[in-house]
Amino acid sequence: MANFTVDVTETSSSIYHTLIQCDHISHFRNMFPPNLVQACTQQFKTKYGTRKVHTTVMVMVNDTFFNATTANATQEVEVLEFTREEVIPVPGQVNGVNALGLVVFSMCFGLIIGSMKEQGQVLREFFDSLNDAIMRLVAIIMWYAPIGILFLIAGKIVEMDDITQMGGQLGMYTITVIIGLMIHATLILPMLYFVITRQNPFIFIAGLLQALVTALGTSSSSATLPVTFKCLEENNKIDKRVTRFVLPVGATINMDGTALYEALAAIFIAQVNNMEMNFGQIITISITATAASIGAAGIPQAGLVTMVIVLTSVGLPTDDITLIIAVDWFLDRLRTTTNVLGDSIGAGIVEFLSRHELRSKDVEMGNSVVEEKERMKPYKLISQDSDFENDKRLHSESNIVYDKTDLEY
């Protein structure tokens, strides 16, 4: 009787390509949400499951028996069964604002309203008033933000079992990530801004301090968007047409801090498992981390979800993600701050490169810089004077002018 052994193996590279393709398909489907109300709370996300595939093989086996005088040949059929697991994409929905789909719809809707001219003026005024009301509400809430940020960070520290032990094991890893983020935030991004705009980048960054502190506390680039709008438009005088387009898109697809963090985390996990990474694998990790960070949800610790794709690309164990969870709450705040800074620098560069087009558009629409400055800002304090006091002040001023004319004559 013959025995057969069938080995079925599945390379990690095929799984990696499948994950990347499904991830890009998810981004494309999110651009066109079927339900706008659902897009405010959920977004399409391809999930990954495993299924067992049972295969039966019929094998013809020839056996020959010899004795002293004759040789007998028999033919038998042997049934071989084996099972393998394969990764399959499963469509689903995850909680989180589908910012990409809302931005695409808003662009199309805004273009239609703009083409309607006078007929669309009512809708323009409605959305302008709605935006001003929301910004005033956010401005009031931000007065209480420092208290909430304090307790958010304090709660994460209390949840740690042994701070000294965790600090000893992950200290060098944390320092490496911090140095990498600092180099990117204090050297690369400011240098890029200076080379393109020829302006002082640190003055620009100084106007973003409130947004950066909010990102550090909330650990969410999406939750920081209203404050980022306020800082760019009021402190740095960036055109609203640029900020309202660049920042929502940047909060969805521009995760430079997350990409840097995921690459370093993958190398750290490889070192923990005593796996030597060659130059090609390091390049693969860098490219995969950049691709996986595009479209990551702007929520706390979203980088841990996309970390699975990065580890799978080079065959690292995904279970070792638990090694970095202990310090991820802290590093997540730093990379979110870097993401917000990158979005803001990008908005400043886009505004500089588009300045001529914006001015020509203002001339075509009949707007002027003086009219824009005289418009009431959404954060401007409302005067508490009554109408009677205003009329009384105007009446007294007119009397003073009248008395002066009498003296001249």
Q: What is the pTM of this model?
A: 0.58
CB 320 within 8 A of CB 275: no
CA-based diameter of the chain, in Å? 152
Q: Between the CA of residue 362 and those of 108, 130, 357, 367, what are the distances in Å?
A: 21, 23, 9, 5
Q: Residue 75 burial by CB count (10 A; 0-12/13-18/19+): exposed, middle or buried? A: exposed
How many Cα atoms within 13 Å fall on the side-chain side of residue 351?
23
Q: Which is more confidently placed, 353 or 310?
A: 353
Task: Give the span between the Cα atoms of 206 and 315, in whole angstroms.
Answer: 42
| pLDDT one-digit tens code per residue, 199-236 | 999 999 999 999 999 888 888 887 888 899 999 999 99
What does the domain layout of the chain look like in residue ranges?
Answer: 12-95, 131-356
| pLDDT value for 228 | 92
| pLDDT one-digit tens code per residue, 136-156 | 776 677 677 677 767 766 776
pLDDT confidence bin for 304, thresholds 50/70/90: low
**Per-residue pLDDT for 33 more than 80?**
yes
Least confident of 30-34, 65-69, 82-86, 305-309: 65-69
What dotted CATH number matches 131-356? Answer: 1.10.3860.10
| pLDDT one-digit tens code per residue, 247-260 | 988 887 888 888 88
| pLDDT value for 351 | 92
Least confident of 172-176, 302-306, 369-373: 369-373
pLDDT confidence bin for 369, thresholds 50/70/90: very low
Task: Give the span between the Cα atoms of 243 and 247, in whole angstroms.
Answer: 6
The proportion of the chain whose per-residue pLDDT surpasses 90, expressed as a percent, equals: 16
pLDDT confidence bin for 298, thresholds 50/70/90: low
| pLDDT value for 257 | 86
Task: Give the span between the Cα atoms of 173 and 302, in whole angstroms.
Answer: 19
117 backbone φψ class: left, alpha, beta (φ>0; ψ -120 to 50): left
| pLDDT one-digit tens code per residue, 350-365 | 999 998 888 888 787 7
| pLDDT value for 181 | 92
**Which token pair is 394?**
């105007």
